Structure 1
Amino acid sequence: METIIIIVFVLGYLAITLEHNFKIDKLIPALVMMAICWALVALGIDTFPQWFDSAKHTLIENFGSLGLEEKFHIMEGTLLHHLGKTAEIIVFLLGAMTIVEIIDYFDGFSTIKSYVKTNSKKRILWIFGFLAFFLSAIIDNLTATIVLISILQKIVLDRNIRIWYAGLIIIAANAGGTWSPIGDVTTTMLWIGKKVTTGHLFVYLFIPALLCMMVPFFIASFLPAFKGTIPTPDEETIKPTSKYSSIMLYLGLGGIISVPIFKTLTHLPPYVGMMLALGVVATFAEIYSNRKFALTYDGDESADLQGHHSPVHHSLSKIEMPSILFFLGILMAVAALESLGTLFNFAGSLQTHMPMLGTELHHEGVSDLVVLLLGVGSAVIDNVPLVAASLGMFSEPIDNELWHFIAYSAGTGGSMLIIGSAAGVVAMGMEKIDFFWYLKNIAWLALIGFLVGAIAFMFTRTIF
């Protein structure tokens, strides 16, 4: 049964990558794959010899000897756990996307457009690269990608050029998320699991992450796509259409930036802070719009212009729901493989069978090659379950260089495929980027940056 589940996952994965050939939106195979995988898990629950407890990051002992009713109870609890974790991400994402749409409703991004004085493609590339790198460390790589691509859509009107920028933003955002405990879901897992601390994470990973971003951007700046200039927008299009545009921009971005502060103070999940930020931003949006509060949104643009509907409902109607559903499907499908212990065994087999190449890490003698392959694996599958598996596999103490190397590899390795990271999935949805276009044009840049950063880490860990 486990083999059948893996085959279903592989077929679903292929259908996602070939969406343009099949002319089927990627959310459909993602949702079907998720449902079938869990249905097969339920049907074959009595035949599985092991089960991965995601909450404790370890395999359940003697799972095969348990009764059928007890196995079903464990499966239902695991499914609820994964749905809860996925819902946390989705609710967080919904909040961030709504805030971005509210800012756009007030034409807030025109404020940033007015700051970008250059129309040089190369300069715009570097501006957005550094914005993505540092912003992702503050508001996480997923939200940073949403914000920057939204801004990019206002500055670079030609989509064929814009997807190049979006591809490089994925690399920069994932790199920037690795040196901050709130920059990426995997570093957050390691931080909450008391494997890394904020100070050591910065010391070990800032330089490798910076090189992981800068080297691909340096190479890309010589590519034909970034030569020349973009058309300069008319002054009227740059000028904000609302007198509250600047206020809403700073209020919206300030609300998003406040989320990690809220999390640090309350120790609540980030989505709670995001909902608070959305509530505050929405309140000011309603006040500034002078519109009546409405409980429904009928999509009538003329009625909206006459002030009969709120900007919040308008913004909610603009959210890219297919991307949200795709996110649900792919994460829950991966969760099925994780629950069977498949990913845990994959990570364990790497440790067992791979030769000890390169500089060995302390204690368990884990090979650098194993950690690098975990990074490659995070691009193919998902970095979250692989990091979860590593938490149960290795017993190194807090701030051991192994954990920092895992944080780097899992965080930046996902850039090599567009569906290998949350930032890539969101960018794929927002810009309708083709899987194979990314594989052909961006993946090799991400690989070079990944390897350069990994080599840099091997040097930095000997210094500190």
Structure 2
Amino acid sequence: MRLLIALLTALFPVMASAAETPQTVDLTGSTVGILALCVFVIAYVLVVAEEWLHLRKSIPVLLGAVIIWTMIGATYASMGDTEIVHRTVQHSLIEFAELFLFLLVAMTYINTLDERGVFDALRGWLVSRGFSLRTLFWLTGLIAFFLSPIADNMTTALVMASVAIAVGAGHPRFVTVACINIVVAANSGGAWSPFGDITTLMVWQKGVFPAHEFLVLFVPALVSWIIPAAIMATQVPKATPEPLAVRPVVRFGGLVIIGMFIGTIALTVTLHAAFHLPPALGMMGGLGALMLMNYTLNRIGALHKDGEVHHQLIDQGGLSGAESSDPYQENKGPRLNTFNQVARSEWDTLLFFYGIIMCVGGLGTLGYLSVGSEMLYGELGPTVTNILMGVISAVIDNIPVMFAVLSMYPDMNDGQWLLVTLTAGIGGSLLAIGSAAGVAVMGTARGYYTFFGHLRWSWAIGLGYGAGIWTHFLLNG
């Protein structure tokens, strides 16, 4: 081990005085600091190029994280201190663990609702109403704006984009603008809820301000969506698609689980506000309740259908009830299995969050976040910097941007923290690759929703971005 440390130290010498304490060493100008920054940049370029390379976005950041922290560990070990690296890695791991557990439960609930046919029922209801394309354009956007604060912006965008594709057959121009509108609405809707976007969740879990303060961003977020939507609506064809014969059906227990999901969120907010308990604790309690409900629904369905099938088989002179392997599955759809829904979670996304948090945590340990905070918030000021952060988030995704801001933790009032929360949420709409919602819809609506198709309307989305910021200053200044 000492030989390995010596070799790594020779490869990555520290250009800082050994007399300084590890906590105050600035490694931004050292070889190890520059190499670590290069590793992060290369990893993130590979993330951005995922659509063309077909390389899972979690892979480069997972490898980048271990390379960065290995270099940091070797550097501090050569200075005779391994404790600070241990503590800082643990801090980043705790940050990720809280986010991971929260998201895992939320994804499991969403997957369970999807398995119970809740989202299919919503799609079926919309496409069987006989609405005009213009009405559907506004309805899908409105639902996306109000659904994303609960179901998160990516899931919401996927559900509503599938509606646009289903009803827009033969009207490709409608599908294109409808998908752009849905992505913008989902991102804007997620900005005024602590659960609507990963960035707002990180701000809330960090304890910057309580959950109810996000609600003051409702009107600015609404404005940021309404303006580009009104402009794009002029390009929607004046046509009414044929209503589809779709029967909306929510499977056994689906409505109960909707109530449980809302109750889990309420419990989480209450525990955090009243006792300052981590939000992940309340969400994990909700997961336990979902598992219990899973068991109860399966037992009720099986007992009810066992008797029903038994009588039917006797009347028909058929097989005995013992030979019916799963009557519940035959009559009520597939059995609920919470662990299957856990397995269906977006593991690539969850592991991507781990890699990003660890990489940014490593760059913070090297001193880059302190330098960035001084350059941006110290010289440009919080207002200009926070507006700029939204634009940057459209290029490199809002998650690492917000995590970097939270790691810097500049001295700002609540109005400025709300501003950066708003801009990181709605700024991702400026480009198709700027948000998880946009990237997800690009995969679902191939040929309709593209990077350049979205780019054509970036000017209108930019008008909404500016108007949303102006409204925030006007109302919450």
Q: TM-score range, shorter-chain basis?
A: 0.7 to 0.9
Distance 1:167 1:277 in 2: 37
Distance 2:296 2:445 in 1: 29
| Matched residue, 1:408 | 422
| Matched residue, 2:10 | none
Give the conservation status (yes or no) of the 8 Å contact 1:98–1:319.
no
AA in 2 matched with 1:184: D
AA in 2 matched with 1:227: P
Q: Specify which of 182, 186, 191 is matched with residue 178 of structure 1.
A: 191
Distance 1:446 1:349 in 2: 28
Q: What RMSD over aligned residues (CA atoms) do the two structures have, in Å?
A: 4.1
Question: Counterparts in 2 of 1:157-168, with a 5 A limit?
Answer: 162=175, 164-168=177-181
Give the conservation status (yes or no) of the 8 Å contact 1:409–1:454.
yes
Matching of residue 452 in structure 1 with residue 467 in structure 2: yes
CA 1:206 to 1:98, structure 2 compared with 1: closer, same or farther past 3 Å?
closer
| Matched residue, 2:354 | 332
AA in 1 matched with 2:65: W
| Matched residue, 1:214 | 226
Q: Specify which of 238, 242, 248 is matched with residue 232 of structure 1.
A: 242
Matching of residue 43 in structure 1 with residue 70 in structure 2: yes
| Matched residue, 1:351 | 377
SS in 1 for 2:116: helix
Shift of 1:449: 1.7
CA 1:328 to 1:435, structure 2 compared with 1: closer, same or farther past 3 Å?
farther
| Matched residue, 1:59 | none
Shift of 1:211: 0.7
Identity percentage of aligned residues: 24
| Matched residue, 1:34 | 61
Question: Counterparts in 2 of 1:1-400, with a 5 A limit?
Answer: 1-22=32-53, 24=54, 26-27=55-56, 30-46=57-73, 67-74=80-87, 76-78=89-91, 80-104=93-117, 108-109=121-122, 112-113=125-126, 117-145=129-157, 147-149=159-161, 155=167, 162=175, 164-197=177-210, 200-203=213-216, 205-223=217-235, 226-229=236-239, 231-235=241-245, 238-240=246-248, 245=251, 248=253, 250-267=255-272, 268-269=279-280, 271-272=283-284, 275-276=287-288, 278-279=290-291, 282-283=294-295, 286=298, 287-288=300-301, 306=330, 310-312=334-336, 316=340, 324-339=346-361, 340-341=363-364, 342-343=368-369, 345-354=371-380, 366-391=381-406, 392-397=408-413, 400=414
**CA deviation map 1:422-458 (0-9, x unaligned):** 4445445555687734652454443232112112223
CA 1:6 to 1:230, structure 2 compared with 1: closer, same or farther past 3 Å?
farther
Distance 1:449 1:457 in 2: 12
Distance 1:314 1:182 in 2: 21
Shift of 1:129: 1.5
AA in 1 matched with 2:145: F
Which structure has the larger Rg over C-alpha atoms? 2
Give the conservation status (yes or no) of the 8 Å contact 1:320–1:430.
no
Shift of 1:126: 0.9
AA in 1 matched with 2:61: M
CA 1:346 to 1:166, structure 2 compared with 1: closer, same or farther past 3 Å?
farther
Give the conservation status (yes or no) of the 8 Å contact 2:192–2:215.
yes
Give the structure-2-normalised TM-score. Answer: 0.71
Unaligned 5+ runs, structure 2: 1-31, 273-278, 307-325
Give the conservation status (yes or no) of the 8 Å contact 1:122–1:227.
yes
Across the two proteins, how many residue pairs are aligned to each other? 411
Give the conservation status (yes or no) of the 8 Å contact 1:46–1:71.
no
Give the structure-1-normalised TM-score. Answer: 0.72
SS in 1 for 2:140: helix
Give the conservation status (yes or no) of the 8 Å contact 2:108–2:342.
no
